[in-house]
Amino acid sequence: MPILNVNNLKAYFLTIRGAVRAVDNVSFSLEKGESLGLAGESGCGKSTLGYALINLLPPPGKIMEGSILIDGIDVAKLSEDELRKKVRWKKISMIFQGAMNALNPVYTVGYQMSEPLIYHEGMNKKEALEEAKRYLELVGLSRDVVNRYPHELSGGMKQRVMIATALILKPTVLIADEPTTALDVIVQAQIINLMKKLKRELGISIIFISHDLSIISEIADRVAIMYAGKIVELGSSDSVYLKPKHPYTQALLRAVPRIKGKKEKLTFIPGAPPNLIEPPSGCRFHPRCPYAFDRCIREEPELKQVESGHFVACHLY
Ligand code: SF4
């Protein structure tokens, strides 16, 4: 049984120049203990989708249509007060892009980690600090980090603190938006291993957002490839990486350098992602697609199953 069901979700930014259709009719589900990687070029809508899932779109962002069902609650329909009390951090939690720089420099780690426990769980300060220490240990930090200030921590340590804080109210789903960006490769590997361990030990479901397909391949059970606000391919990591079907996924994978194995010439995708105020008709990828034909310009392809558990939105299938 999926624990998260997203149906026909539309999240737009309502600007004076028109509606930017950043997430446009997206549907997917997530199983308990599953990790789903969301990948695509910058501006494809993956971070907006993450924000929409906790109904925390920055203005002028708005959920226009669709549902986000978790434990029978539709996150898209709740008021701000209900979201704060019932959903955010308790059911769905998020590590924001660049979050490690968002730690408040004037408060200790313990103070900042205790706040959600005091507010949401009604713990007193002593109980909250003890729980904070337990979560610091869980993410591989020592208990005395509670007494430290952010400037006393390395980038990797700060990111571990952010992960511990995101998990402290025991959410069912954790959304991690580019959690390894700005970290060196050794620390990136440590953070990925930590997230795998947390998924295994806590049974948490993870939505891992990244533009880096090699990082996603390390952690994701399934991958959703986004282009211009839509999911264009969705399937198990093995199936999408080994047998990519959508021309955009194929092009993305050809643009990733390989260290081992058969060396292939790197190619780039010609053109740029479209303007989402007036996206191209039919298939949004058609102006850049080498296989485009008449129908692609006229008719939008639906995401359909082409192999067991492997979905593609392309008229070639
Ligand atoms: Fe290319 Fe047409 Fe498939 Fe779009 S639907 S990816 S334009 S072949």
What are 97-127's pLDDT values in tens digits? 887 788 999 999 999 999 999 999 999 999 9
In a domain, 317, yes or no: no
3-class DSSP state for residue 28?
Answer: strand
Q: What are the residue ranges in the chain where pLDDT is below 50?
A: none
Distance 281 CA to ligand 1 centre (A): 12
How do 73-74 and 61-70 pair as beta strands? antiparallel
Instruction: Please state, in angstroms and rounded to a whole number, the distance separating the CA atoms of residues 116 and 175.
Output: 17
- Alpha-carbon span 23 to 33, nearest angstrom: 25
- Residue 195 shares a structural domain with residue 254: yes
Query: What number does the ligand 1 atom closest to the CA of 297 have?
Result: 7
What pLDDT sits at residue 209?
A: 96
The answer to whether residues 259 and 132 belong to one domain is no
Residue 216 covered by a domain:
yes
Q: Is residue 302 part of a domain?
A: yes
What is the CA(254)–ligand 1 centre distance, in A?
A: 17
Residues within a 6 A CB radius of ligand 1:
246-247, 283, 285-286, 289, 291-292, 296, 301, 314-316
pLDDT of residue 97: 86
- Residue located nearest, by CA, to atom 5 of ligand 1: 314
- Ordered DSSP codes for 255-288: TS--SSSS-------SS-PPPSSSPPSSSTTGGG
Q: Report which ligand 1 atom has the smallest distance to the Cα of 283.
A: 4
Report pLDDT for 157.
94
**269 and 175 share a domain?**
yes
Q: For residue 261, what pLDDT is reported?
A: 64
- Cα-to-centroid distance, 45 and ligand 1 (Å): 19
Q: How far is C-alpha 162 from the geometric centre of its chain's CA atoms?
A: 15
Q: What percent of the chain has pLDDT over 90?
A: 84
Closest residue to atom 3 of ligand 1, CA basis:
314
Residue range(s) defining the domain that contains residue 100: 92-170
CA of 307 to the centre of ligand 1 (A): 18
The mean of the pLDDT values for the chain is 93
Whole-angstrom distance, CA of residue 156 vs CA of residue 302: 41
Which of 288, 316, 317 most suits a substitution to test ligand 1, by most atoms within 8 Å of the C-beta?
316
163 sits in which H/E element: helix 155-167
The enclosing domain of 64 has a CATH number of 3.40.50.300
Token reading at 306: 């082409």
What is residue 255's predicted lDDT score, i.e. its pLDDT? 83
Distance of CA 259 to the CA centre of its chain: 26
pTM: 0.94
Closest CA to 91 of 166, 164, 35, 200: 166
Q: Which residues 6+ apart lie within 8 Å of 30 measured at CB?
A: 2, 3, 4, 36, 173, 205, 207
Please, what's the largest Cα pairwise distance for the chain? 67
Identify the pLDDT of residue 51. 96
Say yes or no: 65 and 129 in one domain: no
Distance 234 CA to ligand 1 centre (A): 16
In this structure, the answer to whether residues 243 and 305 fall within a common structural domain is yes
Amino acid 25: pLDDT: 97
83/103 same-domain check: no
Indicate the residue among 170, 195, 222 that finishes a domain: 170
Percent of the chain, pLDDT > 70? 97
- The preferred substitution site among 230, 269, 312, 315 for testing ligand 1, maximizing ligand atoms within 8 Å of CB, is 315
If asked whether residues 130 and 261 sit together in one domain, one would say: no
User: What is the Å distance from ligand 1's center to 96 Cα?
Assistant: 33
- Number of structural domains in the chain: 2
Candidates 226, 250, 296, 306: which one to mutate for ligand 1, based on the most atoms within 8 Å of Cβ? 296
pLDDT on residue 173: 96
Establish if 301 belongs to a structural domain.
yes
Structural domain ending residue among the three candidates 113, 136, 170: 170
